[in-house]
Amino acid sequence: MSASPQDPQPAESPTPAASSGHDPAVLEQVAALPALPGVYRYFDADDQVLYVGKAIHLKRRVSSYFQKDHGGTRIGFMVGKIRRLEVTVVRSEAEALILENNLIKTLKPKYNILFRDDKSYPYLRFSGISHNKNLPDDKPQPGAFPRISYYRGATDKHNRYFGPYPNAWAVKESIQLLQKVFRLRTCEDSVFSNRTRPCLLYQIKRCTAPCVGLIDTAAYADDVAHAQAFLDGSADDVMRQLQQRMMDYSERMAYEQAAQVRDQLSALSAILHQQAVESTSDKDVDILAVKVLGGKACVNLAMVRGGRHLGDKPHFPSQLDDARKLVEGEEGGIEATHEQLEQAVLEAFVAQHYLGSDMPPVLVTSVPLQPALVAALSAQAGRKITAVHQPRELRRTWLQMAEQNAGLQLARLLAEEGSQRARTRALAEALGLEREELDSLHIECFDISHTAGEASQASCVVFQNHAMQPSRYRRYGIEGITPGDDYAAMRQVLQRRYGKLAEQIRAWQDEAAESGEAADSDKAPRWPDIVLIDGGKGQVGVAREVFSDLGMDLSRIVGVEKGEGRKVGLEELVFADGREKIWLGQDSAALMLVAQIRDEAHRFAITGMRAKRARVRTGGSRLEDIPGIGPKRRARLLQRFGGVAGVAKASEEDLASVEGISTELAAQIYRALH
């Protein structure tokens, strides 16, 4: 059987014996496994998933892990940590592969090659046809004139979506193209409904002004159909239809309309001429190139939609070092070749990226994909999926571009990581930290943000493994203090952040003393190595008081005091343990890291503060989002109460006194705004 992109492929052997030194309970589970296809999961003593794999013959595959002495390899280290396993039986290898990768994306096992489950690809959306009953009969309905817009999120059946696109720029460039040729509207429905004269886009020939009735629904629908056909790659058909339409207008002596279609043809011809180098019989293709270098890997994904090359996007796997040995040959410890490792990385990406989502009919790849994976993709898509490894002509050009970009992105990543490691090392040296393993250096930084005391927010950001860790960021709403008191806000957030941690550390130390376990075990909760405070002596003094009460080492506290004139590069570091403050120098790598972390804490705090302030000022919801509130009722509410803030302060009785607002709707508005 072919190996899955995640499967270690140990040599097959009989059921293991209890004398092998492995956990007897695990060996009993292995002995009871069926001879059927399925997916297996390994767990450690803390019930954390170690590895997810698939097999045609579960008993033979899983047994083979426990028969051989793997020595000090990664696979040997993993097998030694297995304390429990789970299996799921399926009907076929394709089903096993699909389940395997669903579990990998969900569980994120330590020994699998992992890619971020990126659902953030943008789309170009055509809004669906709808009807607004609140508008007068003589007013054009926005729902009758579909809008084109940039969209990111889950798709639905009410609108039509094109994409996904590799980045936001590609979507916006396509929207500009459609505006230039087909002159479709991009304004929101609320703007459309309240227009009384054409906007600037009409004046510069980027919209046909359906908001004021300068085009009827039938003609606009034709433009929408032509735009969608163009995005589908049927540009030649669109050209023929426009030419016929122009001739029809000419025969009816409707020369003004014929001139407008002529301008459309001219614009479309110019665009097709610019895109000629990208036009091909292929309408939807993804090009995937993989590069592995310096212990890192990059998969560059380029997208062709409707025959147009839309750009590319790099993807970097995590846990490549832990997964490397799992794709190496087991006989005699033969190390995997560079090509085998690249194939494993690409197959991991293809499985995790496409299984469970839409995909084009053709994949052009820099290394071959195993047939089982392609078959699973076809089965899921319900149509034939073709993977081309050695393309010709234009496809080959696309692949070469993708390979070059993968190499450039990987080189950039390695350069950035090298620079970041140098910054981490410089900061450790500047602070006198003696650390052999800089990867584990754990820094947390705090900042307070508010506007004249309103909507105070504290942020905590985390730096570890030479990078910011956004998944571990936290925001804290500050309450019960004098508005604008930054010292009280800092005291509150530090107590909330580290109060429970101090209790956990004391409890662990007590348990370790009773059980005889080492107090500095890897499982033990730990203080951060450095706590950065965005502030000078005053803020650091508050932190000193809090940490003294919690029994925390004061040498961990470092304040970032702004320099003379608050100029960047003149910041000084202030310490809570009595050390003299220091200036690192404008060109210091350590100061660059401190500034990076401090600025990220500031950004995270201020975005949270602004969101909270907006919720407070608008009552937590826009009037337009409340069902039953159309433009007329919204206008009446705003006019009566002087703005959204006034509406939010109004009682249900006050709201019900507005014309067109029933008691039930008033209650609904009040609940939404509170």
CA distances to 285, 483, 564, 612 from 478, rounded to whole Å, are 50, 10, 30, 11
Specify if 3 maps to a domain: no
Q: Which of 144-148, 513-517, 556-560 has the lowest mean pLDDT?
A: 513-517
Structure confidence by residue, pLDDT tens digits, 451-503: 766 667 889 999 998 888 988 999 888 888 888 888 998 999 999 999 888 88
d(CA 504, CA 481): 27
pLDDT of residue 335: 52
pLDDT of residue 524: 75
pLDDT above 60: residue 58 = yes
Last residue of a domain, one of 107, 132, 149: 107
Are residues 97 and 166 both part of a single domain?
A: no
Q: How far apart, in Å, do the first and last CA atoms of the chain sit?
A: 60
Is residue 290 within 8 Å of 312, Cβ to Cβ?
no
Average pLDDT, rounded, for the chain: 80
The 10 Å CB-count burial string (b at 16+, else e) for 514-538 is: eeeeeeeeeeeeebbbbbbbbbbee
Are residues 133 and 253 both part of a single domain?
A: yes
Domain total in the chain: 4
Structure confidence by residue, pLDDT tens digits, 137-160: 667 888 889 999 988 877 778 888
Structural tokens at position 170? 């590609």
Structure confidence by residue, pLDDT tens digits, 331-366: 333 455 778 888 888 988 888 888 767 788 999 999
Structure confidence by residue, pLDDT tens digits, 186-242: 998 888 888 888 888 988 888 999 999 898 888 899 889 888 888 877 766 777 777
Specify if 115 maps to a domain: no
- What is the mean predicted confidence (pLDDT) over 405-434? 84
Are residues 479 and 565 both part of a single domain?
A: yes
Last residue of a domain, one of 80, 107, 134: 107
Specify if 668 maps to a domain: yes
3-state DSSP assignment of residue 305: strand
d(CA 447, CA 364): 47
Are residues 484 and 523 both part of a single domain?
A: yes
Are residues 603 and 646 both part of a single domain?
A: no
Residue 448 phi, psi dihedral angles, 5° rounding: -115, 140
As a whole-number percent, the residues of the chain with pLDDT over 90 amount to 11
Name the one residue in this structure whose structure tokens are 């929101």. Answer: 188
Are residues 63 and 176 both part of a single domain?
A: no
Are residues 71 and 171 both part of a single domain?
A: no
DSSP H or E run through 42: strand 38-43
Are residues 144 and 273 both part of a single domain?
A: yes
More confident residue, 145 or 93: 145
Q: Which of 171-180, 504-513, 574-583, 614-623 has the lowest mean pLDDT?
A: 614-623
3-state DSSP assignment of residue 243: helix
pLDDT of residue 11: 45
Name the one residue in this structure whose structure tokens are 């607004």. Answer: 132
- What is the mean predicted confidence (pLDDT) over 405-418? 84
pLDDT of residue 135: 55
pLDDT of residue 287: 93
Type of residue found at 401: M
pLDDT band at 328 (very low <50, low <70, confident <90, very high): very low
Are residues 25 and 76 both part of a single domain?
A: yes
Are residues 179 and 237 both part of a single domain?
A: yes
- The boundaries of the domain holding residue 545 are 473-615
pLDDT above 90: residue 444 = yes
Give the CATH number of the domain where residue 40 resides.
Answer: 3.40.1440.10
| DSSP β-bridge partners for residue 665 | none
Structure confidence by residue, pLDDT tens digits, 283-302: 788 999 999 887 788 999 98
As a whole-number percent, the residues of the chain with pLDDT over 70 amount to 82
Structure confidence by residue, pLDDT tens digits, 234-273: 766 777 777 777 887 777 787 777 777 777 677 666 655 4
d(CA 259, CA 264): 9
Give the CATH number of the domain where residue 658 resides.
Answer: 1.10.150.20
| DSSP β-bridge partners for residue 287 | 302, 364
DSSP 3-state percent helix, strand, coil across the chain (nearest 5): 50, 15, 35
Are residues 484 and 555 both part of a single domain?
A: yes
Specify if 457 maps to a domain: no
Specify if 408 maps to a domain: no
Specify if 141 maps to a domain: yes
Task: Give the rounded distance of the alpha carbon of 492 from its chain centre.
Answer: 31
Sheet order of strands, 386-388 included: 308-315, 296-305, 285-293, 362-365, 386-388
Give the CATH number of the domain where residue 550 resides.
Answer: 3.30.420.340
